[in-house]
Amino acid sequence: MLEPPHPQHISLEVGLDKEMLNSYPKLRYSEAKLVNNKDSTVTCCSICLGDYKGSDMLRLLPDCGHLFHLKCVDPWLQSHPTCPVCRTSPLPTPLSTPLAEVVPPATRRDIG
């Protein structure tokens, strides 16, 4: 007797649940400029590429510190467990590890 074929294994990426997503800080761009004034990449959303305006509500990803429009990143995080820029994840994931964790930064040597 022939056995039925095994079902194919499908890997689905599961995003963050509402509780975890809501635990991520959100702030207005005008506040983010005060906190991140040295970071030149804080002028636009890496998802929609739109420039931030002072009243725009942003989501701060706590593990990596990247900022995005709330309306852009929340749908992303609900379907993907990682930062859209650096792929850092607060959840265990079968995705590849960020390069910064695989290759340690150069050792600092003080001269003199």
Task: Give the pLDDT of residue 99.
Answer: 47
State the alpha helices, DSSP H only, in the chain: 18-23, 29-35, 70-79, 99-102
Per residue in 17-60, pLDDT (tens digit) is 888 888 889 999 988 877 665 554 578 999 999 999 989 999 98
Q: What is the mean pLDDT of the chain?
A: 75
Count of CA atoms in the C-beta half-sphere (13 A) of 93:
19
Nearest to 59 by CA among 50, 51, 68: 68
**For strand 57-60 and strand 26-28, is the pairing parallel, antiparallel, or unpaired?**
antiparallel
Task: Give the pLDDT of residue 108.
Answer: 47
pTM exceeding 0.85: no
H-run or E-run covering 37: none
